[in-house]
Structure 1
């Protein structure tokens, strides 16, 4: 993992990418398990962390930010599976074919994308829904609840946007 401290990409990044993604997925799954255990102990009551953050328990049967959660769950699972396969295809395309992704930044982008997608897919397969528990709010405005896998995907997207913008300069 010395390449993480330097600027050169690994010669064979697949094993490192795999191990990094597994680590991130484990963190995501452990966080969901611990939050579920904690909230069960307080009768699923939302827990205030500070003025802007609550820990809550949401069963998200929809897509990102709960979109389409009213659609039949068997249809949503099929739609999600198709989107997951397409996302993995696109991510893999970047991994193997885009020379601009063959660096440290590209490695992190891919790790976050893979980890987030796999973490939420594990929830869908084994629970039938994704567990969301982070509630960020300001006064009465609440951002839709999310989890660490969503955060990883968002970080990957933000890093990719910055990379594209920086590469254009």
Structure 2
């Protein structure tokens, strides 16, 4: 499909990903400046701001590994970013698909930066209810999660059309 003036190109998708990275890194800098590791500040009855360090992946997977996971997840994030950019270049006109990929790209690179700079990912959003606490997360994780949902919705929409 040819690109029209209303169809975002690769540079526009990369700009959105960069904005996600900036928002992610800015919020993490604010948390690092205001919280010590383990600090918790209640915001509502179901939401806290915390400072947690995740040396692993989602839900602290491989959190207690000996350190090799830092480099593994940095490499995996960079390979995924290259693949996503390639996909955006080829399919940037597919809006929902491109939004999904862009959110995942921004989130992945936001967490890669943390791993490269700190050796861990800074998490600070904690949701809880009835004594149950969801693992702490951050802006990058949120972008990745929304992007994953959009990928699923895009595929469901594509299957229904076909």
Q: TM-score, normalised by structure 1?
A: 0.84
CA distance in 1, matches of 2:44, 2:93: 40
CA deviation vs aligned residue, 1:37-73 (integer Å, no higher than 9, x gap) = 2224xx8530001111011110110111211111012
Indicate the RMSD between aligned Cα atoms, in angstroms: 1.9
CA contact (8 A) 2:99 2:147 kept: yes
* Gap runs ≥5 in structure 2: 1-5
CA distance in 2, matches of 1:168, 1:34: 43
CA distance in 2, matches of 1:29, 1:85: 17
* Pairing 1:160–2:154 present: no
CA positional deviation for 1:86: 3.4
Q: Runs ≥4 in structure 1, deviation > 4 angstroms? A: none
CA positional deviation for 1:85: 3.2
Q: Paired residue for 2:98?
A: 107
CA deviation vs aligned residue, 1:140-167 (integer Å, no higher than 9, x gap) = 1111110000000001000010110111
* Gap runs ≥5 in structure 1: 1-7
* Pairing 1:88–2:87 present: no
How many residue pairs get aligned? The number is 156
CA distance in 1, matches of 2:106, 2:43: 26
* Pairing 1:9–2:25 present: no
